[in-house]
A and B are shown apart, each in its own frame.
Chain A
Amino acid sequence: MSIKSYIVHPVPGRKSQLIFQLSKMSSCEVVAAENKDILILVTDTSTKEEDDELLSKINELDHLSMLTMVSGFNTTSN
């Protein structure tokens, strides 16, 4: 399983749209900053394939400007 967190920069003025899109995707948790155009995104996936697929889907979002990974945990055992 892998758990990763990112700092997400939306396209200026599109913060709320991006939050909506991200929160609809399964295995994503979004935390929005109140006073900056910044989101925190946490992804939680079971396999590497799933993780790659999710990342590419996120990268395709048109309201997304930039994605910076902060931390990642990967544990193969239970």
Chain B
Amino acid sequence: MIFNELSNRRTFLRRMAKLSAMAAATAMFPGIMFPNEQLAAIPNGSIDWKKAPCRFCGVGCGVLVGIQQGKAVAVKGDPKSSVNKGLCCVKGYHSIMALYGADRLTKPLVKENGKYVEKTMDEALQLIAEKMKETIKDYGKDSVSIYGSGQWTIPDGYVASKLFKGCIGTNNVEANARLCMASAVTGFMSSFGIDEPMGCYEDIDHANVFVLWGNNMAEMHPVLFSRLLDQRMNRGSKIVDFATRTTRTSTAADKSIMFKPQTDLAVANSICYEIVNNGWVNERFIENHCNFSKGLTNIGYGMEDKYSFQDKPEMIDFDTYKEFLKDYSPEKVEKISGVSARDIKYMASLYGDPNVKVMSLWCMGANQHTRGTWINNLIYNIHLLTGKISSPGNSPFSLTGQPSACGTVREVGTLTHKLPHGVVMNEEHRKEAAKIWDVPINNIDPKPSYHTVEMFRALDRGEIRFMWIQVTNPMVTMPKLKRYRDAAKKEGRFIVVSDIYPTPTTDIADVILPSACWIEREGMYGNSERRTQYFEQMIEPPGQAISDTWQIVEVARRMGFGKQFAYKKETHIEEIYNEYRRFHDNKKHNMAPLEVLKSQPGAMWPYVDGKSTKWRFNAAYDPACTQGEFDFYGKPDHRAVIWQRPYEQAAEEPDADYPFWLNTGRVIEHWHTGSMTRRIPVLHKAMPQAYVELNPEDAMKMGIQNGDPVKLTSRRGDIILPASINERGMPVRGQVFVPFFDEGMLINEITLDAFCPISKQPDYKKCAVKITKA
């Protein structure tokens, strides 16, 4: 434009002059077009659309966030993302609203004489650094700890690990992903020697059958579930729901099969029995690519303090394994599991048919399980026996629940035994980490310390005195909650909480730091299919809030680790990511360069020669393969392991005093503890509070009507909830279900802190309760 914009009136007149000339031209020359002018006339132009991965679950949908005058105003699915292909779920569409709750934390708060006092960010960070140094001086380096989550971006988790493991020298680094997918990790490690799924979401476009193992995908991974539904409509794929409770997924599935809690172990073995006995085993695959092993049995439930367990794997042969399977004929398992022999045979026949491509999907049902590692192993067994793995459409697929459970907790390794590459127990891995981190090698402790449950127990016992909690809400999510809440409130414990809203966890904090959330800062997430996705800072965080990464960097500098944390504020995310990539500089795990992540909706590792790897262990797709058609290179002998794992009972089963199973879980509207989604009016109005789902017959017997207050009592405590009958889900008789999002009705007050001895992941799906009309 050559004109000066003198006034609105002048602009208006000029526009009128232009329009009348165009109108005259249109009359004189029919069909004449002024395309740019026509478009510019529409006042929609000020929204700027920027790409990001969704803030919520582990599916990792690509979203486009509409930014207008410094505010996020709209969301749509990114049609260029291969994950969701333009579709989102109700949480994703309303995700930006979670940034605008009126009670956002904007100033650091420090508890002084029982009251919170506003401080500057500088004062608060200085206080944290001093408190940490003092605690280490008084109680040793293992008295300080950090507890994060799978919502940590990759740089957040990386600097946390570097500060605690590298600089301070304690392995007290854990994340709530321990409560979420630790069993998936140990499952992968024991079966394949390397973590994370071999396949990817594209398997959905090839599979003929989807078997969902205790996974209410319609509510928990809705966008992927819609992809299954699309495949059913377009190609006639089948969906089999194998679960303990009737849900939306069951009603949408082609077949719904119900089993008694914990007996999935027996059914999985029974499917293997059928595969072996009907000659459906892929002999060549087994011979070339698999070993058989067994581990310890009767391994306990970890309910006592300082419980420790180490599995002792022992090689066996195929015949021994066949002998073991004889206890699991469909007829025998029918009696244990309540699944008819016919249904077991039906499932086995789907897996056994060489012309059917099967995808197994699971999430919390298999992972939050006192034998979580085992059930993960057993599902892999089925796929390994039939050779249905690592090829398009044949895929055992472990889903995740947090945006970066894979990217941060599993890949960066923010668990007590992990390093960004490898484990603390391995000297080579320690050396590599020490070199990249620029710390002395003996700074890194070769002994893992506490896993999550034990970490909170140590806080209770007084071995841990300082805990920094970032992006998670353990005072809603810990099982047997009361013990750990009381622990945190004890004298002489110092708790720092970084969050964006007040939660039950900030209630126990000595220092509350306001954090920048999602698109208020720069970062990356890694989703369930090994896809790393980048997002830029799009809007300013409120008040004094800063990113979790920068909080840790600032504290590290104040503790005297300026040399290791010499990042520049403007470029620190890029510097940290590039430093982190050095850990994975090999064909098995190479991460895509940042420029690639910026230019496209993510890339899948191993990213080799400018290409994402879709199917690992398959020589046709994976450049890391060195021998044969398939190469399970995670194991030293390049063979995957088929595990002999028996059925064992749950830690606490219903009895005469406590006759009902209690199952806990989520709903589509709320994400985890609801600290974000409950602040979104659309979602809160759709799902305002928790409830207890009862089987209609049980309810009728006890005279309980929909909405009646019901008291649930376990050995740990009691809670009153409104009854829900014939609503969102229907438990089988003898079972109740309660969602855990509601901080006003904390179901975890009465859950059990039993965990899988191998993965240390608690089982939130099974404990015994009694029910009375309140």
Contacts and interface: CB of A to CB of B under 8 A. Distances in A.
Tell me, yes or no, whether A and B come into direct contact in the complex with CB atoms closer than 8 A. Answer: yes
27 contacts: A1-B10, A3-B10, A3-B13, A5-B21, A7-B21, A23-B2, A25-B2, A27-B2, A28-B2, A29-B2, A29-B14, A31-B34, A33-B25, A33-B32, A33-B33, A35-B31, A35-B33, A36-B25, A36-B31, A38-B32, A40-B22, A40-B25, A42-B17, A42-B18, A44-B3, A71-B20, A75-B13
A20 interface: no
B480 to A, nearest CB: 71
Assign chain B's interface to a size class: 20 to 34
B296 to A, nearest CB: 77
Nearest to B15: A42
Interface residues of A, number: 28
Contacts of B16: 71, 73
A56 interface: no
B3 A31 contact: no
B17 A3 contact: yes
Nearest to B28: A7
A26 B13 contact: no
A8 B33 CA distance: 15
A72 B18 CA distance: 10
Nearest to A34: B33
B338 to A, nearest CB: 71
A12 B699 CA distance: 87
A15 interface: no
Per CB-CB distance, the 9 closest pairs between chain A and chain B, nearest first, are A5-B17, A5-B21, A70-B21, A71-B20, A40-B21, A34-B33, A70-B24, A36-B32, A33-B32
Nearest to B22: A40
B374 to A, nearest CB: 68
Contacts of A6: 21
Contacts of B34: 31-34, 40
Contacts of B233: none
B307 interface: no
Contact of B3 (A29, A34, A36): A29
Contacts, number: 76
Interface in A1-27: 1, 3-7, 23, 25-27
Give the residue among A25, A26, A44 with the most B Cβ atoms within 10 A: A44
B1 interface: yes
Interface string B17-46: 110111011001101111111000000000
Interface of A: 1, 3-7, 23, 25-29, 31-36, 38, 40-42, 44, 70-73, 75
Given A40-B34, A42-B14, A31 B2 contact: no
Contacts of B29: 33, 36, 38
Nearest to A43: B17
A36 B32 CA distance: 6
A38 B17 contact: no
For B17, B22, B32, B37, the residue with the greatest tally of chain A CB atoms inside 10 Å of its CB is B17
B752 to A, nearest CB: 71
Contacts of B17: 3-5, 42, 70-73
A71 B31 CA distance: 21
B20 A26 contact: no
B739 to A, nearest CB: 57
A31 B17 CA distance: 12
B25 A38 contact: yes
B253 to A, nearest CB: 53
A29 B1 contact: yes
B18 A40 contact: yes
Given A29-B3, A36-B29, A44 B14 contact: yes
A22 B37 CA distance: 18
A4 B14 CA distance: 8
Interface in B333-375: none
Given A28-B2, A29-B2, A35-B31, A42 B21 contact: yes
Contacts of A38: 25, 29, 32
